Amino acid sequence: MSRTRTALLAAMALVAGATGSAIAAVPGDAGAAAVPCTVDYKVQNQWDTGFTASVTVTNHGAAKSSWAVKWTYAGNQKVTSGWNAKITQSGANVTAANESYNATLASGGSATFGFQGSYSGTNAVPATFTLDGVTCNVDSGGPTDPPDPTDPPPGNRVDNPYDGAKVYVNPEWSANAAAEPGGSRIANQPTGVWLDRIAAINGAGGKMGLRDHLDEALEQKGSGELVVQLVIYNLPGRDCAALASNGELGPTEINRYKSEYIDPIAEILADSKYASLRIVTTVEIDSLPNLVTNVSPRATATPNCDTMKANGNYVKGVGYALNKLGDVPNVYNYVDAGHHGWLGWDDNFGASAEMFKQAATAEGATVADVHGFIANTANYSALKEDHFSVNDTVAGKSVRESKWVSWNRYVDELSYAQALREKLVSLGFDSKIGMLIDTSRNGWGGANRPTGPGATTSVDTYVDGGRYDRRFNTGNWCNQAGAGLGERPQASPEPGIDAYVWMKPPGESDGASKAIDNDEGKGFDRMCDPTYTGNPRNDNNMSGALADAPISGHWFSAQFQELMRNAYPPLS
């Protein structure tokens, strides 16, 4: 903030010196009456091809019941989306007209709206603005005022939405948890609300719809700040590398995804009634990384992932979602970023980051639509492995050569998330993006939790004896036996990390352990069958899944009980 403020004052002083009258534009000044309006146009964020700006118009004349601000660009700026005004552009001429909810402009009152635009070359601030055809005084940061890294991010979003905020407790999950013996110890924890099919928007099968959740969120909010966590999860050809969470839309149904799923969600989120909520969206779990790791010519390829890569509908869907949801000024988009045991290898890490950039610049989205990324959603990767690191050498071998690490560059989620953040910033994402880590089921506590490093006989005894994560392989993802609740949700736990969250609601199954008929499009994936001996995606290991599991998303009491027993930190 400070640098912009100084530059602004300097610019005003310059104008005042030159004309001797600009100071009269300051509201409340004796001479202000002569100035019908003031426009404050600020470039908030700027990158090589785009920018976001915030405009405040102050009316010094008689009260108005509707208004329109106009300006003309000297360069090739193009407004691509706006908020809190209806913004249209014809050639270089831009008109920003009121929305119904900010139509009245009292005498002395102001309205603020914002927008995102593209440009090349210079991004000069327009010289003249009018309010309803009358020229206003300009009160701007000026064309050479670079965005200050401490300025608030686009749309006046706060840097970390979790800071100083409570997080929404989903009453439906909470009731399931509270109904379990011992469940009241965690039933008041916040968990993600999964919009996992079109019908979930209005409420499927008697369950709460999106508006029901947001109305309840306003109740929980009271006079403080509150984050609501939504999971956007309904891409065409969903879950292309597995079967347990296949969805309702076929691989080609991108238009239905846009018009029947994203558009209605965006419309509800944009309701001014909900403007005071901080709405965090987790965008499309397990989608983009599949286009990197599970496509031909790799041995891990699946036909469905090859299809989704070829038809581009994951990239388009994610781009569209980011663009539309990002237009809502109080939405904070976090893109799913897999987990270290999937993308931590050199072959996957950079290529995935580039894939995220590609999707974040598709279908009208820009990097400014991305507030951050989320790691480990619905997965089991340990947050921190304290007893070994990739830099350790045992019996002449690097830990990276152990069977468990298998040349991965990362051994836990925290180091992975922090490194990925740096990589994404280097590719052009905002330097203030933050990471979320889903710690709902990565605790790995209980009696089997190691208390020190393994024996130094070999890298394998060393790593296997010391690791918290008890899976057979980090490629295992379904209802893992032995897992526990991880860190409780909390804001700003580590540098670069906006929050630990429970995006996957503990106790909800990852998939059925045998085929079960259902009307949700869910298939039977053998990775959820405890007798399955694996495939190339888990390096042909046993699945490690619990028996007797219901289909994904359904309540799995036995798993919930085990997660509580093996919680780390333990439950008191």
Residues annotated as part of the active site: 286, 510
Report the candidate in 240, 231, 425 with the shortest Cα–Cα distance to residue 334: 231
Angle, alpha carbons 415-418-422 (nearest 5°): 135
- Least Cα distance to 101 among 323, 330, 275 occurs for 275
Q: Which is nearer to ligand BGC, 464 or 520 (CB)?
A: 520
**Residue 104, exposed/middle/buried by CB under 10 A (0-12, 13-18, 19+)?**
middle
Sheet containing 93-97: order of strands: 86-90, 93-97, 68-72, 129-131, 134-135
Binding pattern to ligand BGC, positions 138-177, x when CB under 6 A? Answer: ----------------------------------------
Shortest distance, position 296 Cβ to ligand BGC, whole Å: 26
Query: Please, what is the Cα angle at 324 between 308 and 495, to 5 degrees?
Result: 85
Q: How far is the CB of 68 from ligand BGC (least distance, A)?
A: 44
Residues binding ligand BGC: what is the number (CB under 6 A)?
Answer: 9
Among 4, 245, 402, 408, binds ligand BGC (CB under 6 A): 245
Tell the smallest beta-carbon distance from residue 503 to ligand BGC (Å): 9
CB of 235 to ligand BGC, least distance (A): 12
Structure tokens that stand for 231 in this block: 């999971």
194/568 with CB nearer ligand BGC: 194
What is the nearest approach in angstroms of ligand BGC to the Cβ of residue 551? 8
Residue 281 Cα distances to 93, 160, 272, angstroms:
34, 13, 18
Stretch that binds ligand BGC, among 386-394, 501-509, 542-550, 561-569 (CB under 6 A): 501-509
Integer Cα distance of 65 and 320 in angstroms: 34
CA angle 237, 441, 529 (to 5 degrees): 55
Stretch that binds ligand BGC, among 276-284, 409-417, 423-431, 505-513 (CB under 6 A): 505-513
Nearer Cβ to ligand BGC (229/352): 229
- Using CA atoms, how far residue 81 sits from 155, 251, 356, 467, 539, in Å, is 11, 28, 21, 48, 45
Give the one residue of 44, 380, 553, 560 binding ligand BGC; rule: CB under 6 A: 553
Binding part of the chain for ligand BGC, among 63-71, 155-163, 440-448, 503-511 by CB under 6 A, reads 503-511
Q: How long a stretch of residues is the chain?
A: 572
Q: Which stretch binds ligand BGC (CB under 6 A): 205-213, 312-320, 502-510, 536-544?
A: 502-510
With contacts defined by CB under 6 A, name the span among 180-188, 314-322, 404-412, 500-508 that binds ligand BGC.
500-508
552 makes contact with ligand BGC (CB under 6 A): yes
* Residue 245 or 442 having the CB closest to ligand BGC: 245
Whether 137 contacts 25, CB under 8 Å: yes
Residue 363 is a binding residue for ligand BGC (CB under 6 A): no
Q: Which of 139, 151, 430, 508 is in the footprint of ligand BGC by CB under 6 A? A: 508
CA distance 87 to 97: 6
Nearer Cβ to ligand BGC (58/245): 245
Q: Is 194 in the site for ligand BGC (CB under 6 A)?
A: yes
* By CB under 6 A, residue 505 contacts ligand BGC: yes
Please give the full DSSP string across 195-227, using - where no structure is assigned. Answer: E-STHHHH-STT---HHHHHHHHHHHHTTSEEE
Which lies closer to ligand BGC via its Cβ, residue 445 or residue 553?
553
Q: How far is the CB of 129 from ligand BGC (least distance, A)?
A: 48
Q: Cα 214 from chain centroid? A: 18
Q: How far is the CB of 282 from ligand BGC (least distance, A)?
A: 11
510 binds ligand BGC (CB under 6 A): yes
Which one, 392 or 510, has the nearer CB to ligand BGC?
510
Cis peptide bond N-terminal to 297, omega within 30: yes
Cβ closest to ligand BGC, residue 60 vs residue 471: 471
> Which pairs count as long-range contacts for 48-51, CB under 8 Å and 24+ apart, including other chains?
48/428, 49/118, 49/119, 49/120, 49/366, 50/80, 50/116, 50/117, 50/118, 50/119, 50/366, 50/368, 51/77, 51/116, 51/117, 51/119, 51/123
Tokens representing 381? 């990767």
Q: What share of the chain is helix, strand, coil (3-state, %, to 5)?
A: 30, 20, 50
Closest approach of Cβ 527 to ligand BGC, in Å?
12
Q: Which residues bind ligand BGC (CB under 6 A)?
A: 194, 196, 245, 504-505, 508, 510, 552-553
